Amino acid sequence: MFWPDTISKILNIKYPVIQAPMFGVSTPGMTAAAAKAGCLGSLALADLSADQSVELIRKTKKLTNQPFAVNIFVHHIPELTDSLREKFSEAKQFITRLAKENHIEVRLPDLEDIQVNSYHDQVDAIMEEGCKILSFIFGNLDDKSIQKLKENEVILIGTCTSVEEALILEKSGIDMICVQGIEAGGHRGTFDANDIPEIGGISLLSEVDDHVKVPLIYAGGIHNGKTLRAAKELGAQGFQVGSLLLASQESALHPFEKERLKNVTEKDIVLTKSFSGRYARGIKNKYIETLENSAYILPYPYQNKLTNELRKVSKSLDNTDFVSIWAGQSIHNYSELSTEEILKNLIQSVGMK
């Protein structure tokens, strides 16, 4: 039988295919549609407040009675120093001027207007809502949170981009590890925001498989039967897909963003910190080219909060030069079918029964 069943049994799903938690792209509808395909849907909560997280969890529960994962950012929040305050002001002025030069009128927030959320409040809300699968990126949960979640029988899925990170996750008692190859679209799951291990998925997955014993999920470049089979051969027992679903019916991307995907080339896909302050892979545009390697990129989450309004306004203007369209290195036809159909087609392509 092709299908590894370890993860399927643990997560109570038919196929160990996981819809990636793409914040800003995935929706409760996408999560529910993935579940209808017999896969694990993921609800992206990123660094939302506890109340916002609860609202999305409840929306998703209304759409499906199947298991789904919730995904959070376990990032470090930098101290607000005088230097950071000064850099924030400079970045705000520069980005506001850049937007105006490109006919975008936008009011970016002051530092005092920004609300920064810790994941600890989300953890409590997730347990109160009875969620039983939690995945996370940008580091590891603290020991106290791991203990609380384990006591509530929550299955924990960490994300690694190196063998070292995988070993840290396993040692702390994380149940499964998502191995994120450099090919993957969206934010890198690295523990250190400034140190990005540039390890290809084939090398990384094979190495991690040699060093840890917990079940592995692979993410990065899976878009058809061939790429999924390759991940299985290298040790993956679960398969996470994200870019495959970018243009799906349930995707939150606007039509003009989906149209941009259809014309993307391999030269267009880059890693950048310019929108959020953390490395993410997506489609190069005028904003990225201007900001990259400049002095106007703040640490996450401050850069992310600063540029959020710019991205919203640019979406309303159908302006591809000032939005973040995250995408992986595997370029394909970006189907506009439903998430359920796309995932079923992927399953059929590898002969999974």
pLDDT in tens, 241-277: 999 999 999 999 999 999 999 999 999 999 999 999 9
What sign results for the dihedral spanned by CA atoms 315, 302, 326, 347?
negative
CATH 3.20.20.70 is right for the domain spanning 1-77+116-249+332-353: yes
Task: Give 99-127 pLDDT, tens digit per residue.
Answer: 999 999 999 999 999 999 989 999 999 99
65 and 32 Cβ atoms separated by less than 8 Å: no
Residue type, 331: I
Share of the chain above pLDDT 90, in %: 94
Measure the CA–CA gap between 67 and 133, rounded to whole angstroms.
8
Residue 92 has pLDDT above 50, yes or no: yes
**Crossing angle of helices 28-36/50-63, nearest 10°?**
40
Res 244: pLDDT? 97
Phi, psi of 317 (to 5 degrees): -100, 5
pLDDT for residue 180: 97
pTM for this model (two decimals): 0.96
CB 123 within 8 A of CB 152: no
pLDDT tens-digit profile of 2-55? 888 999 999 999 999 999 999 999 999 999 999 999 999 999 999 999 999 999
Per-residue pLDDT band for 196 (boundaries 50, 70, 90) equals confident
Residues ≥6 apart with Cβ < 8 Å to 289? none
> Above 60 in pLDDT, residue 347?
yes
pLDDT of residue 256: 98
**pLDDT value at 352 more than 60:** no
Residue 353 has pLDDT above 60, yes or no: no
Q: What is the mean pLDDT of the chain?
A: 96
Look at residue 1 in the predicted model and tell me its pLDDT. 62
163 Rama class: left (phi>0) / alpha (psi -120 to 50) / beta: alpha
CA–CA gap between residue 264 and residue 85 (Å, rounded): 37
Decide if 339 contacts 19 (C-beta within 8 A).
Answer: yes
Adjacent-strand bridge partners of 133: 155
Task: Write out the H or E segment, with its range, that includes residue 81.
Answer: none
The per-residue pLDDT for range 225-236, each reduced to its tens digit, is 999 999 999 999
| Residue range(s) occupied by CATH 3.20.20.70 in the chain | 1-77+116-249+332-353
